[in-house]
Amino acid sequence: MMDWTDRRCRAFHRALTRRARLYTEMVTADAVVFGPRERLIGFDPAEHPVALQLGGSAPGRLAEAARIGADFGYDEINLNCGCPSDRVQSGQFGACLMREPALVAEGVAAMKAAVAVPVTVKCRIGVDDQEPSEALPAFAEAVKAAGADALIVHARKAWLDGLSPKDNRTVPPLDYGLVYALKAAHPDWPIVLNGGLADLAAVRESLARVDGAMLGRAAYQNPELLLGVDPELFGEPAPVGDAFEALEAFCPVIAAGLARGERLHDFTRHLLGLFAGRRGARAFRQILATEAVKRGAGLDVLRAAMARVERGPAPQDGGLPGWDEARAEPVTSPS
């Protein structure tokens, strides 16, 4: 979720659920160690529970970055071994590491020695010509032996040679059965399922077979589904009554950001999936896409957009109008 789940996005998602664990976008270990740390990995305490996702392959550097993340207060350090982007391929990390379980195990062991918080790994079921039924169990055994506290599996192979990063999110077929079999082989070790989970019904179904479920694009593209997480999965009331209340709770966060010189669009670009299927949703998106990108735009623009949406219960169907499903990204004007 690089460039998506930044601290602004996470702040809004936390307004929708108290219990779901939030993950940062992947940040390279080198960037954490040598870059502007507060800008890259700073977060608000209200985001807890929140995990820092790292990219990298050098065990010593991963350990140093993990220590920095733990000192920042993150609840978990997660090593990404599943991202198929061009950037990670050139840097020999992300999904490339599916080919190097011994190196990943060394990195996990180094991070475990450096921090007291859980260290987890996110992976694919294999890459390129690997046979997933062989690659995934071998990878899992290696990172478990190194002390990984949990494994999050995106149940698709990544084709680093032949598919774009965008296509790698949807084209390779899902194989939930392989992940369920992995869990059966490791009943004492937390396994989390990721990939293709479109709603909470799918999450509930998966939780009968694995220990957790990770939502990515579904939660980003239709944030209102997060309102059901606390009541449906944890038996607790949602923090707000609806998406309108969530936006009102988010407004002070936006106001503080504007006071720091940030742009309204930095926040509202994460809101375009709201109100799918409601009357006025298209006008909501259009106002944000055209007006929030302008210099000096303030909360009055967001309130004007909200005023165009019909209130009432959220529709139970209707898809995600305003989204280009092939790109799996919000349709926005250039900023």
Question: The tokens 């250039």 sit on which residue?
Answer: 334
Provide the β-strand partners of residue 51: 23, 76
**Cα–Cα nearest to 77, from 94, 64, 90:** 64
Distance CA 187, CA 122 (A): 18
C-alpha count within 13 angstroms, C-beta hemisphere, residue 310: 10
Which structure tokens are listed for 217?
Answer: 């694009």
Distance CA 191, CA 186 (A): 8
Which of 83, 96, 123, 251 is labelled catalytic? Answer: 83
Angle at 122 between CA 182 and CA 253, to 5 degrees: 135
Instruction: Note whether 12 and 250 are within 8 A (CB).
Output: yes
- Tally Cβ neighbours within 10 Å of residue 232: 15
Provide the β-strand partners of residue 230: none
Residues making up the binding site for FMN = 53, 122, 154, 194-196, 216-217
81 is catalytic: no
Distance CA 61, CA 108 (A): 11
Residues making up the binding site = 53, 122, 154, 194-196, 216-217
Q: Which residues are catalytic?
A: 83
